[in-house]
Amino acid sequence: MDAVDRILEQWATARPDLDTSAMGPVGRLSRVFHHFTRRMGETFALHGLNAAGFDVLATLRRSDPPHALSPGELMSSMMITSGTMTNRVDQLAKAGFVTRRPDARDARRAVVELTDKGRELVEAALADHVETQKSLLAALSGDEIAQLDAALSKLMKAAEER
């Protein structure tokens, strides 16, 4: 029995008229999300990063060489606002992990580019991040991970269609 089971038992007693069957998976997803976020944050902190900074660096790293994107391309990939993006890029530029330069195709446009220092940092952080993610799913078999991934993909698609 876990904490969510106890909550469900309490609701069954307090409000037996309610169908709380969705409460279990949603409650567990929420608790797992918070636990995973904390653990991944600890991994990023080992590299002097937070999740937001890692997100920008990883988005640039997985883009085609020269690992440069416009702020708009970064925003659409990460689904954040322009103010949030500006703040993230400013912090990373101040630390020397990215640079801003004019776009060679359109001088009116800026491009955010991963520096060598930023590439080294994201490569190291990424390796640790992947290991952290593996450890977070270690309680599941390979088949269970695939089933979970398929179910979560289905939920995500439904949520994004709304």
Q: What is the pLDDT of residue 82?
A: 77
Least confident residue range of 96-110, 120-134, 146-160: 96-110
**Six-digit token string for 61:** 């790293």
* Residue 152 falls inside a structural domain: yes
Q: What is the pLDDT of residue 72?
A: 85
Q: What is the pLDDT of residue 99?
A: 96
* Residue 17 falls inside a structural domain: no
Residues 6+ apart with CB under 8 A from 98: 56, 57, 60, 89, 92, 112, 113, 114, 115, 118
Task: Please write the tens of the pLDDT for every residue from 28-83.
Answer: 999 999 999 999 999 999 999 999 999 999 999 999 999 999 888 898 888 777 77
* Residue 134 falls inside a structural domain: yes
Q: Tokens 């979560």 belong to which residue? A: 152
* Residue 18 falls inside a structural domain: no
Residue 104's domain comprises 3-12+23-161
Residue 135: CB atoms within 10 A of its CB come to 11
Asked whether the CA dihedral 27, 29, 34, 36 is positive or negative, the reply is positive
**Six-digit token string for 5:** 């089971």
Q: What is the pLDDT of residue 110?
A: 87
Q: What is the pLDDT of residue 26?
A: 96
Length of the chain (residues):
162
Helix (H) or strand (E) holding 44: helix 23-45
Provide the CATH number for the domain around residue 131.
1.10.10.10
Residues 6+ apart with CB under 8 A from 110: 70, 71, 100, 101, 102, 103
**Contact 110/101 with Cβ under 8 angstroms?**
yes
* Residue 72 falls inside a structural domain: yes
Report the half-sphere exposure of 3 (CA within 13 A, side-chain side): 7
Q: Tokens 């909550």 belong to which residue? A: 7
Distance of CA 42 to the CA centre of its chain: 14
Q: Tokens 């689904």 belong to which residue? A: 79
Q: Quote helix, strand, coil % in the chain, to nearest 5.
A: 65, 5, 25
Mean pLDDT of the 122-146 span: 98
Structurally, the chain folds into a number of domains equal to: 1
Q: Supply the pTM of this predicted model.
A: 0.87
pLDDT band of residue 132 (cuts 50, 70, 90) is: very high
